Structure 1
Amino acid sequence: MSTKYKRGSFQLMKSMNRSTILNMIREEGPISRADIAKETKLTPPTVSNIVKELISTQFVVETTQGMSKGGRKPTLLEINAEQFFTIGVDVGTTQMKFVITNLFGEIREFTTLEIPPYPAHEDILSIMKQGIHHLIKTNKESFDKFLGIGVGMHGIVDPEEGRSLFAPAFQLNDIPIKEVLESEFDMIVKVENDARAMTLGEYWFGHGNDADNMLGVNVGNGIGAGLMVKGRLFHGEHNLAGEIGHITIDLSGPKCTCGNYGCLQTLAAGPAIAERAKKELKAGRASLIHDLVDGDFEKVDGCMVYEAATQQDAFSIELLNQTGRYLGIGLTNLIHTINPKRMIIGGGVSGAGRFLMDGIEETIQSRGLTDKAKETSIVLSKLGEHASAIGACVLVLEEFFIRQD
């Protein structure tokens, strides 16, 4: 029998419709009522009434007094970050990550569950429910403080319906995530593609908060991207925007799971790194990896290549640099198509850091059309391995703290 949880706070805040002021306090706090009135063009009595409501719901607290400009010192307002929490789920290809964050996207607890090979619809939904129940039960004293659940799901997602339309790693279609989780937990549930969730997380709490036009690139077992245009995620006509892993880089390249040949992810995703390493090692290339796997090349994976690179293994450094060059070709195409202010690289492969970035930057420098294109800011994810899960939490926070244009 399902355990039900209260919607409470979400419905209350939606009815109050106070996101403008709440968001200003989040972004600029500690801030005074007078400064809020000045920046929003709302009357001081209106601001005072709304702030009173926000304090009564405990989303906002009064804090230390500000500098006086003559007369009484103003009391400042800030977000009560530990009063409410969100749950974020990142559905990868082999694992699901679950986090609890406060109102500033700071992780308060997390857990990871394995996804079995060839899962059915019921397996995916069951693992989601298991992980969420675990986090809620271990934080039952905060029971009424959960605002909702966000899910970042790999593949094609319909965020309006909250459904996974196609999860390529599982070869599953039409998973009703929102419907099932809202029924199970009686909370608001938001669903988005994992790369878009990562991008949203970086936009709010990472390296993207000064770039309204930006691209987040999630490089793991596959490659996806989230495109932010004027501070809003761009989905495209049929929710396909950002499937950059299937940009063709080499017409004669390896066959992709999508059926095409030479897709970017067949050359630069985690499994591609491992496959290239195995092929060259079997052909006799010298490398520290031989010792790491005791000659059993089937044990080789991307993490092992990175480990060898950190020990100055020339073969591994060259391999990761080449991976960066492949990524650089894909990113250069995107620079010429979208012209973002910043590109943020996340996902498991981004852990290769400088070994990867050298190849990316070298390729963009040689292929960029203009000097400005070559100067496009490219950085590694600030939020790291939990970026998509934190971004999934932001899907819920957006309902309260929507940035105003």
Structure 2
Amino acid sequence: MKRTGDLKLMQELNRYLILDVIRKSGPISRVKIAERVGVSPTTVTSAVNDLIEEGFVEEIGSGESSFHGGRKPILLRFCPNNYFLVCVSISNSAIVLGESNLDAEISSKQVYPMNGSLGEAIVEKMLNALEDFLSRYTDLTRCIGISIVAPGIIDATQGLLLYNTKLYLHNVDVKGIVEERFGLNVWFDNDANALVLAERDLGQAQSTDNVLFVTIGDGIGAGAIVNGSVFRGSKGGAGEFGHITIDRNGIRCECGNAGCLENYVSWPSIYAKIYASIVRGIPTVISDLIQGDLNRITPEVYLTALEQHDKVATEILEETADYLATGLVTLTNMFNPSAIILGGELFQGNHYFLERVSEQVLKNALNILNDDLIIRFTSLGEDDKLLGAAAVALNDVFHFSLSA
């Protein structure tokens, strides 16, 4: 005889499986759902009635009968717009908030510049940004929660930001703080982990069980899906790709080590090379673009120089690509991925950069591991981290398992 707890768990599992089938395969009939999930029509009817009442599913009319003259089945479809999710992306430069429906479609967003905030001031800025963003809603009963992503070592299970050197944050209970302030469900995860989930669930790596996502910006990080699951490590720090050592006698890193990859493949390292070139009097179109003001050196200026085939900008790109490829060879040999996705704004769409990185990885990684390896840019677009935040929450909400 099944215990009450066992029965409730099985009912909940069936409900999630049924909803997942409707999301992915709708419009679909109750009979087809029962066949797909392998449960009785009675079980499907009970779960569907609850889902309709809660607004996750709706009936949309009749389908074709399986038998000539037979009763036409009622079709069901998922209702992604009856509920919404608030997505939050924290970076060194800004806090970005957006609204997503349950299909991870971003309908609105707001950017709150960081303006140099560090440490506890960042937490306060995030709370104020959420207060402002949520004030536009008269009814939050349709909000399933707040999903937050940030760089750093994060314990996603507990919702703790354990360590971030650039933001000066250490052991911050982000999930607890936000839940206490707003009374909503909260998810909190590393941004690279969120991005690799988004690529797997929403982007070009769908149905890929072994994929790496590498993001290049103010720092460099990686998210990995290994055998279908996000690989986190024992303390959530498995994606600290930027802190692998490529030169023991190299540049001192803020983490305390020397020669970390991040100091050779990131915007600060590119900025330093541009700065040094201009100070040394090396001819570059960047000098004209900034009109002599070194404070005006930005990623946008650098990208403009690349578009104009500036020699200094191109040489920096080549050096950056070579260092990145060195790191990716290590990841390829360690994880044997079927795909590596490159994200971040710095080199998106620059096919020369992608070709140079790909060529060296395919040349230098173990041959047996790179035969079918695909290296490409992200498909997620400018709202990538908001989509990542959405993927974290929706993956939890719609991918129920017995171990959850």
* Same fold? TM cut 0.5: yes
Letter in 2 for 1:129: L
Instruction: Give 1:244 deviation, angstroms.
Output: 0.4
- Is the partner of 2:111 in helix, strand or coil? strand
Instruction: Give 1:14 deviation, angstroms.
Output: 12
Residues 144-199 of structure 1, C-alpha deviation per residue, up to 9 Å, x if partnerless?
21001111121111112211111211222111211111111111111111111121
Kindly report structure 1 stretches of 4+ aligned residues shifted beyond 6 Å. none
Asked if the contact 2:90/2:151 (under 8 Å) is kept, the reply is: yes
Deviates more, 1:24-33 or 1:92-101: 24-33
Asked if the contact 1:220/1:349 (under 8 Å) is kept, the reply is: yes
Instruction: Give 1:343 deviation, angstroms.
Output: 1.5
Residues 102-130 of structure 1, C-alpha deviation per residue, up to 9 Å, x if partnerless?
01101011111122425232x22222222
Instruction: Give 1:57 deviation, angstroms.
Output: 0.7
CA distance in structure 1 between the aligned counterparts of 2:155 and 2:227, rounded to whole angstroms: 21
- Is the partner of 2:103 in helix, strand or coil? coil
Instruction: Tell me what 2:291 maps to.
Output: 294
Match of 2:125 among 124, 127, 148: 127
Instruction: Tell me what 2:188 maps to.
Output: 191
Mapping of residues 119-198 of structure 1, within 5 Å: 119-121=118-120, 123-141=121-139, 143-198=140-195
Equivalenced residue count is: 391
Instruction: Tell me what 1:279 maps to.
Output: 276
Deviates more, 1:365-374 or 1:154-163: 365-374
Letter in 1 for 2:79: N
- Is the partner of 1:93 in helix, strand or coil? coil
Instruction: Give 1:333 deviation, angstroms.
Output: 1.0
Aligned pair in 2 of structure 1 residues 261, 14: CA closer, same or farther (>3 Å)?
farther
Where do 5+ consecutive residues of structure 1 fail to align? Answer: 1-12
User: TM-score, normalised to structure 2's length?
Assistant: 0.90
Mapping of residues 325-364 of structure 1, within 5 Å: 325-351=322-348, 353-364=350-361
CA distance in structure 2 between the aligned counterparts of 1:285 and 1:25, rounded to whole angstroms: 61
Letter in 2 for 1:246: H
Asked if the contact 1:317/1:355 (under 8 Å) is kept, the reply is: no
Q: Which has the higher contact order (CA 8 A, sep 6+)?
A: 1
Aligned pair in 2 of structure 1 residues 342, 53: CA closer, same or farther (>3 Å)?
same
Asked if the contact 1:368/1:374 (under 8 Å) is kept, the reply is: no
Mapping of residues 4-403 of structure 1, within 5 Å: 16=12, 18-63=15-60, 65-70=62-67, 71-117=70-116, 119-121=118-120, 123-141=121-139, 143-351=140-348, 353-370=350-367, 372-402=369-399
Instruction: Give 1:64 deviation, angstroms.
Output: 5.3
CA distance in structure 2 between the aligned counterparts of 1:174 and 1:162, rounded to whole angstroms: 10
CA distance in structure 2 between the aligned counterparts of 1:326 and 1:157, rounded to whole angstroms: 26
Residues 14-60 of structure 1, C-alpha deviation per residue, up to 9 Å, x if partnerless?
99552111122222223222222112111122112111111111111
Aligned pair in 2 of structure 1 residues 41, 311: CA closer, same or farther (>3 Å)?
same
Instruction: Give 1:373 deviation, angstroms.
Output: 0.7
Instruction: Give 1:371 deviation, angstroms.
Output: 5.5
RMSD (Å), alpha carbons: 2.3
CA distance in structure 2 between the aligned counterparts of 1:226 and 1:14, rounded to whole angstroms: 32
Letter in 2 for 1:365: L
- Is the partner of 1:306 in helix, strand or coil? helix
User: TM-score, normalised to structure 1's length?
Assistant: 0.90
Where do 5+ consecutive residues of structure 2 fail to align? Answer: 1-8
Instruction: Give 1:242 deviation, angstroms.
Output: 0.9
- Is the partner of 2:264 in helix, strand or coil? helix
CA distance in structure 1 between the aligned counterparts of 2:353 and 2:101, rounded to whole angstroms: 32
Letter in 2 for 1:244: F
CA distance in structure 2 between the aligned counterparts of 1:114 and 1:31, rounded to whole angstroms: 45
Query: Based on CA coordinates, which of the two structures has the bigger radius of gyration?
Result: 2
Instruction: Give 1:134 deviation, angstroms.
Output: 2.4
Asked if the contact 2:153/2:235 (under 8 Å) is kept, the reply is: no
Asked if the contact 2:210/2:337 (under 8 Å) is kept, the reply is: yes
CA distance in structure 1 between the aligned counterparts of 2:25 and 2:315, rounded to whole angstroms: 45
Asked if the contact 1:353/1:380 (under 8 Å) is kept, the reply is: no
Instruction: Give 1:358 deviation, angstroms.
Output: 2.2
Aligned pair in 2 of structure 1 residues 363, 66: CA closer, same or farther (>3 Å)?
farther
Residues 240-280 of structure 1, C-alpha deviation per residue, up to 9 Å, x if partnerless?
10100001123333222112222111111111111112222
Deviates more, 1:26-35 or 1:75-84: 26-35
Aligned-residue identity in percent: 31
CA distance in structure 2 between the aligned counterparts of 1:127 and 1:348, rounded to whole angstroms: 24
